[in-house]
Amino acid sequence: MENRVKSVALACALVATSMATRAQADVKLPAIISDNMLLQQGVDAPIWGTAKAGEKVTVFFAGQRKTTQADKDNKWLIRLDALDAKTQGEMTVEGENKLTIKNVLVGEVWLASGQSNMAMQVQQADNAKTEIESANFPKIRLFTVAQKVAAQPQTEVSGQWVECSPQTVKSFSAAAFFFGRELHQTLNVPVGLINSSVGGTWIQAWISREPQSSNADFKKALTWWDETFAKAPVDYPAAKQRYDGDLAAWQIEADKAKAADLPSPAKPVAPQNPEAPNRHTGLFNGMISPLMPYGIKGVLWYQGEANAFKNPRYDEWLQLLINDWRTRWGEGNFPFLFVQLPNFKQFPNFVDIRDAQFKTLKLPNTAMAVTIDSGNPDDIHPRNKQVVGHRLVLAALGTVYSHQIEYSGPLYQSVKIEGNKAIVNFTHTGSGLQMKGEALSGFSIAGADKNFVPAQARIEGSSVVVWSEQITSPVAVRYAWEANPQASLFNKEMLPASPFRTDDWPLT
């Protein structure tokens, strides 16, 4: 009997060892390469995963057969020859095991990222019930990246591709969905949308370590975060539970001390959460790096509100992010479309962020959706995400897809001083400039003393003439230079002019 038990135990151990060895040899794919995925057309689409070092891996799709070997780090990658948007079917990946990826489409893939206004869901947007009920678009595919903060670049995200339907769209990014829906309907091709966004986050969390380390000033902040998280508890949930208990006890003693007119005891110090979303590089590591090098057409970016509290040099940060992602993706200067912050009366520093966003247009293959006419002065999360999606689509059609349309509102180009008047010239005047309302408002003008005063303005052709009886020798003009500006200048395509300034004076 004893020998029989030993034999059974030995057999079980051998089976377990065999299964473990087999599991190590199995070809595996990241979550982004899975059922219902949509591949970018017109590029050599990357397919990658892991397998046993030296293991032969073959990918079959749309008549193509591509073979490679896993390297010493168990990683492998192949690139399918460029596909067109008519391609669809199943993909097979074979090594010592076989995987089948079902319901694969090819079309246009866009990554949407940023903070809460990008994360805001369709069910939170204007007209949500109707939008959700009508969202039967099986050729639009959605992938939402689960929130993940990491100290080092990760290789995997949590998420899955789903067909767009009333059941799946309600919790997806509203701005991204409205963009994708209109793009799908306009181009008549499948569209894939990847939403990787987290509310309340700084831009610094979305940029990799190397470019932040290369700038002496930026490196100081990065070093502070590194030192702070080096002190974070290994078991944060347990530490947080202890802290909550200590805090409650402290509050009781503090109340007693106050009642007795005695000094309050020292307040407990909260433990540092190693998964704090604003940890510099943390969201890049956890939510962007694992997506690379998935084939994308471009990026939609809606962020900046959180940096209104820490706004210095936001234009440098945004340009750093764009260049960082482009470099690491290895697809060249792919399109990067971003939303300029809307009107919101409670944050004066929105003015500075909008100015920084405007400056970022100097980077190639970028475009900006102006939204100062469509926000909510009392709500930092305006519900009208349809207009955001539409203006991003216009930017994409006019730049990426070469449609002959006006895709932007007027953008400041130059200024000329003639006597006591400033003549401001613009690009993107479309079929002509026009005002909204009874008069052009929101203009101010200053002399050499840098003291701005309200100004009068009128449209003359493709220019705006600005003046004030108080300024005899004007030097600079600003427009919509406040947190909650009144948008009055548009082109005849009804796209609002971006806030601008003709000066380069240091901002407070």
pLDDT, one tens digit per residue, over 59-102 is 999 999 999 999 999 999 999 999 999 999 999 999 999 999 99
Distance of CA 33 to the CA centre of its chain: 21
The span from the CA of 418 to the CA of 17, in Å, is 86
Q: Which residues of 40-73 are buried (b: 16+ CB within 10 A; e: fewer)?
A: bbebebbbbbbbbeebebebbbbeeeeebebeee
Q: State both tokens at 86.
A: 């008519």
Residue range 404-458, pLDDT digits in tens? 999 999 999 999 999 999 999 999 999 999 999 889 999 999 999 999 999 999 9
CA pseudo-torsion sign 478, 483, 486, 488: positive
Residue range 335-348, pLDDT digits in tens? 999 999 999 999 89
Among residues of the chain, what percentage have pLDDT more than 90?
Answer: 85
User: How many Cβ atoms sit within 10 Å of the Cβ of residue 17?
Assistant: 10
**Average pLDDT score over residue span 215-222:** 89
The span from the CA of 76 to the CA of 480, in Å, is 52
The span from the CA of 125 to the CA of 174, in Å, is 7
Residue in 428, 429, 433 with CA at minimum distance from that of residue 457: 433
3-state SS assignment for residue 323: helix
**Average model confidence (pLDDT) across the chain:** 93
Domains of the chain listed by start with CATH number: 23-216+283-407 (3.40.50.1110), 411-501 (no CATH)
Distance of CA 118 to the CA centre of its chain: 7
Q: Which of 53-67, 184-198, 247-261, 359-373 comes out lowest in average pLDDT?
A: 247-261
pLDDT band at 14 (very low <50, low <70, confident <90, very high): very low
CA pseudo-torsion sign 16, 17, 22, 23: positive
Residue range 266-311, pLDDT digits in tens? 999 888 888 888 889 999 999 999 999 999 999 999 999 999 987 6
Length of the chain: 508
Half-sphere exposure of 499 (CA within 13 A, CB side): 24
3-state SS assignment for residue 484: coil
What is this structure's pTM? 0.92
Asked if the model's pLDDT at residue 8 lies above 60, the reply is no
Cβ–Cβ < 8 Å for 216, 313: no
Residue in 370, 356, 358, 313 with CA at minimum distance from that of residue 489: 370
Cβ–Cβ < 8 Å for 301, 336: yes
Distance of CA 369 to the CA centre of its chain: 14
- Residue bearing the bigger pLDDT, 5 or 317: 317
Peptide bond into 293 cis (omega under 30): yes
Q: State both tokens at 436.
A: 């909204």
Tell how strand 98-114 and strand 191-197 pair up. parallel
Cβ–Cβ < 8 Å for 120, 49: no
**Average pLDDT score over residue span 159-168:** 98
pLDDT band at 12 (very low <50, low <70, confident <90, very high): very low
Residue 5, pLDDT score: 47
pLDDT band at 225 (very low <50, low <70, confident <90, very high): confident
